[in-house]
């Protein structure tokens, strides 16, 4: 027999099966979601949620699609949060310390309260990656923030008004484009293709009769 728990969506009480995620519990309760629901698999950050368990002080945060309901859970969803996203031309900016100062100067107002890290739905060390961004250490910032789903909960909790996910996005793009080592084999292959080097090879395969292709496919050599 299924066990039920009492949860409160925006303060209103519903009885829902205890096995459900918050998202599925809302649907069970009768919500037809439009906002606050995207990939349903913990990657898109659309279902940022804040909750408090009745009788407890701590304010918790999570993704609604990845979190099971609990008895006495008071739930408020955060389907949108006004992050600051600065516009820039990736071809023109350079991975210098100044670029953060120009685009996201508020990161230097961080007061070190660590509310961002405590609230991260992915369990990331957010304050640490902001510290790396402040110092222009973009590789470290990129690595530390890599699993960010940009749900924006950290920014909702930040007294300094920092848009952490956008800062990290900038750091990752700077790293990926300018700092990460170049892939010579890739550049070489693109040049070969532009030179038409593979046209005949592919056409040779394409123009073979299917029976011959099946033979080729079934006997092709497979890299260990």
Residue ranges in 72-101 that form contacts with other proteins under rule CB under 8 A: 85, 87-90
Considering only 68, 84, 137, 157, the residue that binds other proteins (CB under 8 A) is: 68
Residues 154-193 binding other proteins (CB under 8 A) are: 169, 172-177, 180-187, 189-190, 193
Q: In the complex, what is the shortest distance from the CB of residue 113 to other proteins, in angstroms, rounded to a whole number?
A: 25
Q: In the complex, what is the shortest distance from the CB of residue 7 to other proteins, in angstroms, rounded to a whole number?
A: 14
Q: What is the token pair recorded at 8? A: 């409160």
Strands 12-17 vs 4-9: parallel, antiparallel or unpaired: antiparallel
Q: Where are the beta strands (DSSP E) in the chain?
A: 4-9, 12-17, 48-53, 60-63, 73-77
Task: Give phi and psi for 125, each to the nearest 5.
Answer: -90, 80
Q: In the complex, what is the shortest distance from the CB of residue 33 to other proteins, in angstroms, rounded to a whole number?
A: 8
Residue 38 sits in the site that holds other proteins (CB under 8 A): yes
Residue 201 sits in the site that holds other proteins (CB under 8 A): yes
User: Which CB sits closer to other proteins, 110 or 149?
Assistant: 149
Residue 34 sits in the site that holds other proteins (CB under 8 A): yes
Q: How far apart are CA 58 and CA 91, in angstroms?
A: 44
Residue 195 sits in the site that holds other proteins (CB under 8 A): no
| Residues whose CB is less than 8 angstroms from the CB of residue 77 and which lie 6 or more positions away in sequence, other chains included | 35, 36, 47, 48, 49, 50, 64
User: Which CB sits closer to other proteins, 39 or 101?
Assistant: 39
CA dihedral sign of residues 208, 193, 91, 106: positive
Considering only 6, 8, 24, 128, the residue that binds other proteins (CB under 8 A) is: 24
- The answer to whether residues 105 and 57 touch, using CB atoms and an 8 Å cutoff, is no
User: Which CB sits closer to other proteins, 58 or 223?
Assistant: 223
* Residues of the chain by 3-state class (helix, strand, coil), percent to 5: 40, 15, 45
User: Which CB sits closer to other proteins, 159 or 188?
Assistant: 188
Q: How many residues bind other proteins (CB under 8 A)?
A: 73
Q: What is the token pair recorded at 47? A: 């279902």
Residue 223 sits in the site that holds other proteins (CB under 8 A): yes
């Amino acid at each position: 027999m299924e066990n039920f728990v009492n949860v409160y969506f925006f303060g209103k009480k519903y009885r829902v099966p205890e096995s459900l995620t918050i998202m599925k519990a809302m649907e069970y309760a009768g919500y037809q979601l439009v906002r606050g629901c995207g990939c349903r698999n913990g990657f898109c950050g659309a279902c940022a949620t804040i909750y408090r368990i009745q009788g407890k002080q701590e304010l918790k945060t999570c993704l609604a699609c990845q979190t099971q309901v609990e008895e006495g859970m008071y739930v408020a969803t955060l389907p949108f949060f006004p992050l600051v996203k600065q516009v820039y031309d990736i071809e023109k900016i350079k991975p210098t310390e100044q670029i953060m100062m120009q685009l996201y100067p508020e990161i230097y107002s961080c007061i070190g309260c660590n509310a961002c890290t405590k609230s991260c739905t992915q369990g990331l060390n957010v304050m640490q990656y902001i510290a790396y961004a402040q110092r222009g250490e973009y590789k470290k910032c990129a690595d530390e923030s890599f699993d960010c789903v940009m749900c924006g909960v950290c920014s909702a909790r930040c007294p300094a008004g920092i848009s952490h996910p956008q800062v990290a996005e900038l750091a990752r793009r700077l790293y990926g484009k300018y700092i990460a080592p170049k892939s010579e084999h890739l550049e070489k292959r693109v040049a070969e293709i532009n030179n038409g080097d593979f046209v005949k090879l592919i056409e040779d395969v394409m123009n073979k009769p299917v029976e011959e292709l099946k033979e080729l496919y079934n006997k092709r050599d497979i890299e260990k």
